[in-house]
């Protein structure tokens, strides 16, 4: 996992719960908190921070990860506005995630491990996204989708019909655009 992800997580925790909370999570996990944005860190470190946050707050892990996705998207957009240019609606943006954004991110950061998405483009108002990743951060993807919908001022419904956490080979998100 790239250090930028850890930096975003630290910013979110500090904004939501204060610097002391972030310091406490770092102390509980034995991490120093010095994450270089372009460096790669163990996924276990991220999972340890999330587990410690769950323990400290009582908030379900999947909701913490969803919230992190919601937080991360606007920051990603500020740093990478080119990925949002040319998109005026949610569906076209979501279709670009694996086909454009992840391709470009891999060029910028060779060796980065990103989730894979495949799509079933059913209609103008319906899209099914299939998510595959050994990290099983599907709830992060849900948060990113939610923040993307907010960015494009789109009301939508998301039905997570199958999940890797329940033993499926991949997660399926059925998205229905409401406006």
DSSP 3-state of 160: strand
**What is the Cα–Cα distance from 178 to 62, expressed in whole angstroms?**
25
| Strand 116-123 to 171-177 pairing | unpaired
- What is the pLDDT, as a whole number, of residue 105? 85
pLDDT for residue 148 is more than 90: yes
- What is the pLDDT, as a whole number, of residue 78? 93
**What CA–CA distances, in Å, run from 6 to 20, 34, 104, 163?**
16, 9, 21, 25
User: Residue 83's Cα: distance from chain center in Å?
Assistant: 15
DSSP 3-state of 175: strand
| Strand 126-132 to 171-177 pairing | antiparallel
What mean pLDDT do residues 86-94 have?
94
The DSSP 8-state label assigned to residue 82 in this structure reads G
pLDDT tens per residue across span 21-44: 999 999 999 999 999 988 889 999
Q: Which of 65, 29, 46 is nearest to 140 (CA)?
A: 65
- What is the pLDDT, as a whole number, of residue 89? 95
Average per-residue pLDDT for the chain: 94
DSSP 3-state of 67: helix
- What is the pLDDT, as a whole number, of residue 108? 81
119: how many CB neighbours lie within 10 A of its CB?
16
pLDDT for residue 47 is more than 90: yes
């Amino acid at each position: 996992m790239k250090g930028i992800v850890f930096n975003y997580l630290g910013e979110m925790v500090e904004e939501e719960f204060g610097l002391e909370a972030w310091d406490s999570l770092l102390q509980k996990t034995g991490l120093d908190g010095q994450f270089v944005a372009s460096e790669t860190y163990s996924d276990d470190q991220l999972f340890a921070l999330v587990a410690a946050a769950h323990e400290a707050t009582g908030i379900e892990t999947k909701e913490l990860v969803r919230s992190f996705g919601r937080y991360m998207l606007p920051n990603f957009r500020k740093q990478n506005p080119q990925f949002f240019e040319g998109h005026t609606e949610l569906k076209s943006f979501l279709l670009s995630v694996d086909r454009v954004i992840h391709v470009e991110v891999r060029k910028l950061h060779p060796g980065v491990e990103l989730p894979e998405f495949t799509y079933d483009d059913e209609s103008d108002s319906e899209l099914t996204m299939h998510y595959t990743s050994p990290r099983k951060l599907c709830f992060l993807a849900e948060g990113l989708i939610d923040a993307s919908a907010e960015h494009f001022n789109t009301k939508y419904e998301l039905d997570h019909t199958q999940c890797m956490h329940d033993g499926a080979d991949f997660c399926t998100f059925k998205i229905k655009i409401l406006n």
